[in-house]
């Protein structure tokens, strides 16, 4: 059996990359819903419909757990999907606001996310629960999703876009930047270049994979670690239900993993 991980596009590969590091013995299906990317600018009803379709696909593939590697989809649809598919462990990523506030040492915290994530009650309630000192600001960055899907990670256009969005914020007052969309992890180098030195960049991928491991371990469904000489698990990639087998597209995926490994060090 395998673990299903999905996102509206390539952003969820951030979480897949982390899962491959922590769970090399597992087999994975990665599903990018490229027909409907981006989720963050769609209506709530549309996103729920898309997520339901993906969950049914994962069930048909006999996945033992599903990870919603999309902050927007988690905020909009996770609870509804858990109620509907109660026998299937469904783990959702969400912005790492709590650890960011805890580590901020009184400095401000900026959460960057898609418009739908920012306006969903789930994130607003999370901020209300942990932000006693009103340190958190939220900023919509929908353009980064489009840049990521085009493979444009470092460019004058990306820099100009972020400079425009950050204009008006006293960035020296911030201690934490929370990446509230998995697509944003591809841009850590540009964030680093634009933000004052010392700002901590945090996302929810590591914590989400650790939660996945805890859930599977509790159910006795965590695959055993392979012997040192044994091959690790396998990944199958799908674009809105269509398996990706073409050499050029698989090469693009390999390069995305390569970039994510570079960004992991930042």
Helices 71-84 and 121-130: crossing angle in degrees, nearest 10, is: 100
CATH 1.10.3720.10 for domain 2-93+205-264, yes or no, is: no
Secondary structure of residue 132 in the 3-state scheme: coil
Question: Given this model, what pLDDT does residue 234 score?
Answer: 93
Question: Pick from 41, 99, 98: which is nearest to 70 by CA?
Answer: 41
Catalytic residues: 70, 181
Q: Write the DSSP string, 77-117.
A: HHHHHHHHTTTS-EEE----HHHHHHHSTTSEEEEEE-HHH
- pLDDT at residue 75 above 60? yes
At the topology level, CATH places domain 97-203 in: Rossmann fold (3.40.50)
Give yes or no on whether 2-93+205-264 and 97-203 have one common fold: yes
Q: Where are the domains of the chain?
A: 2-93+205-264, 97-203
Question: Given this model, what pLDDT does residue 225 score?
Answer: 75
Question: Given this model, what pLDDT does residue 91 score?
Answer: 98
What percentage of the chain reaches a pLDDT higher than 90?
Answer: 92
Contacts of 132 (CB under 8 A, 6+ apart): none
Question: Given this model, what pLDDT does residue 7 score?
Answer: 96
d(CA 16, CA 106) in angstroms, rounded, equals 33
> Nearest 5°: phi and psi at 225?
-65, 135
Question: Given this model, what pLDDT does residue 95 score?
Answer: 93
d(CA 193, CA 178) in angstroms, rounded, equals 16
Where does the pLDDT of residue 265 fall: very low under 50, low under 70, confident under 90, or very high at 90 and above? Answer: confident
Q: What is the pLDDT of residues 123-162, one digit of tens each?
A: 999 999 999 999 999 999 999 999 999 999 999 999 999 9
Q: Write the DSSP string, 237-263.
A: EEETTEE---HHHHHHHHHHHHHHHHH
Q: What is the pLDDT of residues 84-97, one digit of tens each?
A: 999 999 999 999 99
Record the tokens describing residue 69, joined without a space.
Answer: 């590697």
Q: What is the pLDDT of residues 193-236, one digit of tens each?
A: 999 999 999 999 999 999 999 999 999 999 987 666 555 679 99
Question: Given this model, what pLDDT does residue 183 score?
Answer: 95
- pLDDT at residue 245 above 70? yes
> Nearest 5°: phi and psi at 20?
-65, -30
Record the tokens describing residue 236, joined without a space.
Answer: 């199958």
- pLDDT at residue 47 above 70? yes
Mean pLDDT computed over 103-111:
96
d(CA 203, CA 96) in angstroms, rounded, equals 6
Mean pLDDT computed over 189-196:
96
Contacts of 24 (CB under 8 A, 6+ apart): 225, 226, 232, 233
**Which pTM value belongs to this model?**
0.92
């Amino acid at each position: 059996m395998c673990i299903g991980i999905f996102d509206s596009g390539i952003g969820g590969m951030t979480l897949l990359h982390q899962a491959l590091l922590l769970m090399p013995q597992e087999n994975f299906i990665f599903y990018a819903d490229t027909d409907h990317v981006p989720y963050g600018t769609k209506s709530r009803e549309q996103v729920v419909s898309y997520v339901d379709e993906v969950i049914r696909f994962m069930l048909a593939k006999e996945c033992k757990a599903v990870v919603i590697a999309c902050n927007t989809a988690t905020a909009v649809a996770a609870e509804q999907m858990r109620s509907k598919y109660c026998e299937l462990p469904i783990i959702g990523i969400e912005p790492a606001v709590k650890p960011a506030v805890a580590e901020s040492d009184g400095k401000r915290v900026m959460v960057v996310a898609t418009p739908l994530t920012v306006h969903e009650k789930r994130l607003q309630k999370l901020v209300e629960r942990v932000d006693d000192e009103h340190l958190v600001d939220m900023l919509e960055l929908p353009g980064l999703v489009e840049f990521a899907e085009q493979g444009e990670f470092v460019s004058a256009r990306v820099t100009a876009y972020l400079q425009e969005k950050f204009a008006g914020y006293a960035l020296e007052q911030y201690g934490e930047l929370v990446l509230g969309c998995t697509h944003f992890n591809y841009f850590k180098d540009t964030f680093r270049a634009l933000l004052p030195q010392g700002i901590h960049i945090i996302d929810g991928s590591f914590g989400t994979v650790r939660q996945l491991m805890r859930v599977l371990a509790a159910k006795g469904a965590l695959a055993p670690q392979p012997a040192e000489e044994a091959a690790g698990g396998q990944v199958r990639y799908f674009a809105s239900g269509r398996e990706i087998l073409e050499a050029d597209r698989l090469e693009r995926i390999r390069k995305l993993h390569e970039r994510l490994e570079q960004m992991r060090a930042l």
